Amino acid sequence: MNTSSAIASKWTHFTEINPAVRFIDVTLRGCAQVMFQNNPLTGLIFFIAIFIAAYGEGNPAAAYGCVLGTVVATFTGMFVNDRTSWLAGLYGYNGCLVGVALPTFLSVTPQLWGCIITGSIVSVIATVSIADILKTWKVAALTAPFVLTTWVVLLASYAFSGLDASGLSVPELPHPLVSAPAGGLFNGHIFATVLHGVSEVYLFSSVAAGGLFVVGLAVASRWAAIFAIGGSLLAVLTASLLGANTTSTDSGLYAFSAVLTAIALGSSFNKPSWRVLGYTFIGVIFNEMVTPSFPVLC
């Protein structure tokens, strides 16, 4: 048995005999499951990356909200009659994203923390409900509970003075992009742009965090790390060639969804192969059409 296997075995033993360690383990897995990884060390690296990015962007509340949301969702998931999914962290990742998103778009107030707690609890209920509806078609809920929960809170924030929505963009009708200089592919910052795409999965635009996320992925699965980088790169190339807004491309906003698509199709739900690579390639490119369509629809 090599060193890493020995450490993993000891950690597993600790989780089996100590409920507190087990809860920490599941919480870490919940953070890692945002990128489809069931690995506590990956989750720890992700949390470190999130704190680095949050402090780097002057928004530490997003990091603490992330931890709070993951912990609350993980605790709530204990009451769901699905021990296997809970142990894998599958009830924690939507709360993790809720905890990051709300402090990103809303000003920090006491009421915000209450919304993070409530939203994280609701995200678990939504996960169970949506999964029950979609099980007929064998489709996973993924991050739909996070999206729905966060949308409700953000939309409600306009009606409450205790929730400062000044961080939200002003609604406007869709209009054609008149012109755009060449994007991330051609501006000499392709490396940073690709890593921004990875870090934007957690709503940050940080090279350091993006690099740590890739490291965390590699700890759990080298294929996941490869597909994350490849998906982000392909997304940047596609968005640039289509003439997408340069600022949005450089910050990773055209790549984060492609990163998740690439990881999911390329390694998490399929065994890597040439055929799977083809599916992933098409999925990422089509994703670049889907990404800008949502602001228009909404």
> Which one is predicted more confidently, 259 or 243?
259
pLDDT digits (tens, 9 = 90+) for 7-62: 778 888 788 889 999 999 999 999 999 999 999 999 999 999 999 999 999 999 99
Residue 175: predicted pLDDT: 63
Residue 6: predicted pLDDT: 75
* 19 vs 23: CA distance, rounded Å: 6
* 238 vs 244: CA distance, rounded Å: 9
Mean pLDDT of 255-280: 95
Say yes or no to pLDDT of 285 above 50.
Answer: yes
pLDDT digits (tens, 9 = 90+) for 168-225: 776 666 666 655 554 445 555 899 999 999 999 999 999 999 999 999 999 999 999 9
Residue 184: predicted pLDDT: 44
Q: How far apart are the first and last CA of the chain?
A: 53
Within 8 A by CB and 6+ apart from 10, the residues are none
Of these ranges, 4-8, 165-169, 174-178, 274-278, the one predicted with the greatest mean pLDDT is 274-278
Q: What 3 state SS string does 77-100 have?
A: HCCCCCHHHHHCCCCCHHHHHHHH
Place of tokens 């089509």: 286
> Which one is predicted more confidently, 15 or 116?
116
Residue 183: predicted pLDDT: 45
Asked if residues 193 and 229 have their Cβ atoms less than 8 Å apart, the reply is: no
Mean pLDDT of the chain: 91
Within 8 A by CB and 6+ apart from 179, the residues are 243
Residue 232: predicted pLDDT: 98
The domain locations on the chain are: 10-171, 173-298
Burial label for 124, CB within 10 Å (0-12, 13-18, 19+), is buried
What architecture does CATH give domain 173-298?
Orthogonal Bundle (1.10)
Q: Is 229 left (phi over 0), alpha (psi -120 to 50) or beta?
A: alpha
Report the greatest alpha carbon distance in the chain. 62
Give the pTM: 0.92
What architecture does CATH give domain 10-171?
Orthogonal Bundle (1.10)
